[in-house]
Amino acid sequence: MAQLQRLAVNPAQICDRKIDLTREQQHYLNRVLRLQGGDRFIAMDGRGHWWLAVLEAHETGLIASITEEIAVNRELPVEVTLMAALPKGNGFDEVVRQATELGVGSIVPVTSDRTLLKPSDQKVERWRRIAAEAAEQSERQIVPTILEPVSFDVAVKDCGQKYRFICVARGDNRHLWDCLAALDPPQFRAGTGAPPLQRGEQDGGELSIVIAIGPEGGWTEGEVKRAIEFGFEAVSLGSRILRAVTAPIVALSLVGAIFEKC
Amino acid sequence: MAQLQRLAVNPAQICDRKIDLTREQQHYLNRVLRLQGGDRFIAMDGRGHWWLAVLEAHETGLIASITEEIAVNRELPVEVTLMAALPKGNGFDEVVRQATELGVGSIVPVTSDRTLLKPSDQKVERWRRIAAEAAEQSERQIVPTILEPVSFDVAVKDCGQKYRFICVARGDNRHLWDCLAALDPPQFRAGTGAPPLQRGEQDGGELSIVIAIGPEGGWTEGEVKRAIEFGFEAVSLGSRILRAVTAPIVALSLVGAIFEKC
C-alpha cells in the first residue's frame, strides 16, 4: 500500500464504486502527480474514509474505480510538513525515520544561517529510502515526500501551507500545543458530521500545517524575523533546550495527539 | 546546577531565608538522599518556585538556608518515571538522552519476555553519564536517576507511582493524552493559586506518573495483563506503529505539553 498519492474527493462524486473526477482532479492526477491508466491512488472523503482507487484512461479523460476501502487508516487527518534545518553529520537520518513514524506528510530539508552546507544528491536519495522503509515499518499508507533541499529564505517564501509555525528554543512564545489546539476544526476529527468538501478543494481541502525546526544552536534572530514576515508564528516546545534531532519528534507528537486523540 | 536532589517544602516552612525542616525531611535528606552539612539541594514549594538551598549540620539536626531562587525552572511540574524495555544494540543510549531532554525524572530499564538479556554494569554507568550530559545540554536542574535494570514483573510489582500507564501498540485503548488530561490537577499548573503542600507530603506530594514502553515487537499479552493487575492502564500513542526508541519520546512529549502548556 506504500507510496500511493492521495486525492481529496467529495462524497457526492462517488457513485456505484466509481469516482466522477473533476477536470481539475484529472489534471492534478495526470499532470501534477504523473499518474496514468492502471495507476492506483488513495481517495479520501475528508470524513475519515479512505479508498484504494485505480485509474482508467478513456477518450473522454481519466475515470477512477474504487477497488477497496482502506479499513485501517494510520495517516494523520492533517497534512503536516516538517521544514528542518540540516544538522551536521548523519543526524538527519533519524529525523526522517522518526518523523515518518509520526505521520509527517512532507519534509523540506533547509540550509540556514548556521548550516550552510547543501547535502549531496546521494544523501537526499538515502533519506527517501529511509522514509520508504519507515513508512512500511510503521504501517503507513503513504510515504512522506522528501523535497529537494532549499535555503531557508526560499522555503519560507514559497511556503504554501495555511498554518505556519517556527519553533524557537528561547523566549516567551506560545506553546505549539496551544496554537494547534486553536486550529482544531471539528471537521478534521474522525467520526464527526463534517460538511462535504467543495469542488475545487481537492488541492487545499485538508488542513495543512508547516512546522520549521532549527539547527543546533537554533535559528538566528534574522531567520525568525523573516519567517514571521512570511506569516509564520514563533512557538515554544516547552521549557527545556531540545537538540535539533529531538525537537521535530516533539512537534509531531503534539500534532498526532491533538488531531488523533478523539 | 546539575545533579541536585529535590525536596518539596511547605511555603510556611520558609522564614528569613531559612527552611524549618521537619524531622521527616531531615531523615529523608540525610538517610535517604545521603546529604550532609555543606551539601546543596533544591527546595520546591509546589507552586512553581524553586530555591537553591544549602544544609548546615547542627547538634539539633539539619538546618537549610536558601542561597538563591532558581529563576529559570526547566523541570516538569510532575515526577515522570519511564519504565522502558531494553532494545537490542545501543538504541537505549538515545532513549536515555532524549528522555532526559524531555524532563524525565527516573528511568527504569526492564528486561521483558522479548528482551531477556540483562545489561552489564558498564552499560548502566554509560547511561548515567549520558543522562548527566543530556541534563546539562538541555539546561535542566536535575539529572534523571537511572535505576538498576530489573525484570518487568518486579518493576510493575514494586512500582510506587500513583498513576501507571502501559503503552500498547495495537488495540483500542484510550490515548495517553486523554488519560493525562484527566489527571491534570490545577495545583500542578504554574502560576495558579495552589494550596500549600501539607506536612509529610515531601515524599509524595508531587504528581507521580510511570509510563511503561515495550521492546521492539511490543509487550506480550501476559505482560500487559500482569501490569493491569498491578494498577496500570493500557494506553495508545496513536495510530501508527512506533519503534521502541520513538515511543518514549512521544509519551514524554505529551507529558510535557499537558503539564507545561499553560
For the domain that residue B143 is a member of, what is the CATH number?
3.40.1280.10
In-domain check, residue B148: yes
Q: What is the pLDDT of residue A200?
A: 35
Which residue type sits at B229? E
Is residue A125 located within the same domain as residue A234? Answer: yes
Order of all β-strands in the sheet with B50-58:
B5-8, B40-44, B50-58, B61-69, B18-19, B14-15
B residues 157..216 contacting A (CB < 8 A):
175-178
Average pLDDT, chain B: 85
Q: Which residue of A has its CA nearest to B259?
A: A238
pLDDT digits (tens, 9 = 90+) for B121-144: 899 999 999 998 898 888 887 889
Angle between the N-to-C axes of helices A121-137 and A91-101, in degrees from 0 to 180, rounded to the nearest 10: 30
Is residue A35 located within the same domain as residue A64? Answer: yes
Give the H or E element holding residue B46: none
Give Rg (Cα) of chain B.
Answer: 19
Q: Do the bridges between strand A208-213 and strand A163-167 make them parallel or antiparallel, or are there none, so unpaired?
A: parallel
| Mean pLDDT value across residues B6-26 | 89
Is residue B104 located within the same domain as residue B216? Answer: yes
- Compute the half-sphere exposure of residue B95: CA atoms within 13 Å on the CB side of its CA: 28
E-state strands within A36-187: 40-44, 50-58, 61-69, 79-85, 106-111, 145-146, 150-151, 163-167, 174-175
In-domain check, residue A74: no
In-domain check, residue A43: yes
Q: What is the pLDDT of residue B3?
A: 57
**Chain A residues lying within 8 Å of B101, measured CB to CB:** 240-243, 246
Is residue A115 located within the same domain as residue A216? Answer: yes
Q: How far is CA A50 from the centre of its chain?
A: 17
A143 touches chain B (CB under 8 A): no
In-domain check, residue B18: yes
A253 touches chain B (CB under 8 A): yes
Q: What is the pLDDT of residue B204?
A: 42
Which candidate, A3, A209, A185, A138, places its Cα nearest to that of B239?
Answer: A138
Last residue of a domain, one of A23, A43, A69: A69
Site of grid cell 531531615 = B26
Is residue B98 located within the same domain as residue B18? Answer: no
**Chain B residues lying within 8 Å of A173, measured CB to CB:** none
Q: What is the pLDDT of residue A150?
A: 94
Q: Which residue of A has its CA nearest to B261?
A: A175
DSSP-based three-state secondary structure for B252: helix
**CA of B237 to nearest chain A CA: how many angstroms apart?**
8
Q: Are B126 and A230 in contact (CB under 8 A)?
A: no
Q: How far is CA A60 from the centre of its chain?
A: 32
In-domain check, residue B74: no
Which candidate, A212, A78, A84, A224, places its Cα nearest to that of A142?
Answer: A78
| Mean pLDDT value across residues B74-89 | 89
Q: What is the pLDDT of residue B138?
A: 84
* Count of other CB atoms within 10 angstroms of residue A158: 10
Our count of domains for chain B comes to: 2
CA dist list (Å): B47 to A112, B161, B196, B241: 40, 21, 8, 38
Residue B187 has pLDDT above 50, yes or no: no
**pLDDT above 90: percentage of residues in chain B:** 53
Q: Are B131 and B100 in contact (CB under 8 A)?
A: yes
pLDDT digits (tens, 9 = 90+) for A4-57: 787 878 888 999 999 999 998 999 899 888 899 999 998 877 666 788 999 999
Is residue B137 located within the same domain as residue B46? Answer: no
In-domain check, residue A164: yes
Q: What is the pLDDT of residue B184?
A: 55
Which candidate, A67, A82, A3, A59, places its Cα nearest to that of A35?
Answer: A3
Average pLDDT, chain A: 85
Q: Which residues in chain A come in under a pLDDT of 70?
A: 1-3, 46-48, 72, 184-206, 261-262
Is residue B50 located within the same domain as residue B163? Answer: no
Is residue B210 located within the same domain as residue B139? Answer: yes
Tell if the CB–CB gap between B249 and A254 is shorter than 8 Å: no
B137 touches chain A (CB under 8 A): yes
Last residue of a domain, one of B69, B94, B117: B69
Q: What is the pLDDT of residue A229?
A: 97
**Stronger pLDDT, B119 or A154, i.e. the higher one:** A154
| Mean pLDDT value across residues B57-78 | 86
Is residue B238 located within the same domain as residue B166? Answer: yes
pLDDT digits (tens, 9 = 90+) for B141-151: 788 999 999 99
Domain that holds residue B183: 79-260
Q: What is the pLDDT of residue A206?
A: 62
| Mean pLDDT value across residues B73-91 | 87
Q: What is the pLDDT of residue B48?
A: 61
Q: Which of B50, B175, B211, B239 to mutate to test the interface with A (most CBs of A within 10 A)?
A: B239
Q: What distance in Å separates the CA atoms of residue B122 and residue B125, rounded to the nearest whole number?
A: 5
Is residue B97 located within the same domain as residue B225? Answer: yes
Tell if the CB–CB gap between A254 and B254 is shorter than 8 Å: yes
Is residue B47 located within the same domain as residue B138? Answer: no
Residue B48 belongs to a domain with what CATH number? Answer: 2.40.240.20
Alpha helix locations (H) across chain A?
23-27, 91-101, 121-137, 152-157, 176-183, 221-229, 247-260
pLDDT digits (tens, 9 = 90+) for B41-59: 988 776 667 889 999 998 8
Is residue B17 located within the same domain as residue B138? Answer: no
Last residue of a domain, one of A69, A87, A103: A69
Sign of CA pseudo-dihedral B78, B84, B87, B89 = positive
Q: What is the pLDDT of residue B85?
A: 95
Q: What distance in Å separates the CA atoms of residue B50 and residue B47, rounded to the nearest whole number?
A: 9
Q: What is the pLDDT of residue B157?
A: 94
